[in-house]
Chains A and B, each alone.
Chain A
């Protein structure tokens, strides 16, 4: 698969997938696994796990990883550029042509309504994730991070670092304790 081909595949997915990075994943699967057969199904999911474990937008990470695997650094560059370009162009168009009317009363009224759907969509996304973390450990971390953010307006970076360190430490301690107990 040439770098050009990669570029166009990612450009297509980038241009026609609405609703953020996660919406792109099934489309990537259809294109790369089922249609072009360049990635095996099992390595598709391994790649997904790796991309989710690293910071950054999952769609961009995925493009970089698969692009590199298939065609080296050129492939990675072509894939990332392809996946970014449509959203970059669209947002510029919106910002240039649409947002100059933002002070108009009718426009402002429109966005007063739209903001409420953002609340609804984000709440439902958070709720869906919440349901997957109802263990004592998960609830504990959710409670602590929420109170850090809302109660003490802690910096999100501090919250992320805290959660990572806490997860690592508690699992390491648990592993040591279990190891001792089994002896």
Chain B
């Protein structure tokens, strides 16, 4: 029961400060889920990001469901998912209700000018810590180079690249 409550509170917090959505919220996930509570190992955390990419839906929902399930089971999945959407949805509904004033608000505009570049910093920091756990030897550096080339030069679809990287991993590491 206490675990359920702490999962709910953790995801409520993530929902409150997850500006920018997607990858920008991963450092906070990592902090709370991997470092503070050890609900997942860093490797599992990265696996989870990959799974979020090949299953439909927003990464925040996928992660909350996954982590909730891994820690408590189906009930945990439901509680974590509820937690992560509760505050954003409440905020959206209040803006939708009162409208106008928000978009033109000078305060909101000025805060966002500072926040947008910070999201780049958050993503890059996350890339760094994901890379630290994913790059294990020189072979993985070569694979990473191949994947980057496929994405940039060949413009391969991310899902294709993810599946291919898994097959490469099976060939190289088993």
Contact = CB atoms under 8 A, between A and B. Distances in A.
A113 B166 contact: yes
Interface residues on B, range: 35 or more
Contacts of A51: 92
Contact of A145 (B53, B121, B140, B144): B121
Contacts of A96: 69
B118 A16 contact: no
Interface string A131-144: 00100011101111
Interface in B98-136: 102-103, 107-108, 110-128, 130-131, 133-136
A146 interface: yes
B interface: dominant SS: helix
B115 A160 contact: yes
Contacts of A162: 118
Interface stretch (A1-9, A29-37, A62-70): A62-70
Given A20-B22, A50-B102, A133-B116, A113 B60 contact: no
25 contacts: A15-B56, A18-B55, A21-B59, A52-B21, A56-B89, A64-B93, A80-B89, A83-B57, A87-B55, A87-B65, A91-B52, A110-B166, A115-B50, A116-B165, A119-B130, A122-B126, A126-B123, A126-B124, A142-B121, A143-B121, A146-B125, A156-B17, A164-B115, A167-B112, A167-B114
A114 B16 CA distance: 30
B33 to A, nearest CB: 12
Interface string B17-35: 1111111001110010000
Lowest 7 CB-CB distances: which A-B pairs, in order? A167-B114, A113-B169, A87-B57, A56-B88, A145-B121, A163-B118, A57-B58
A100 B150 CA distance: 31
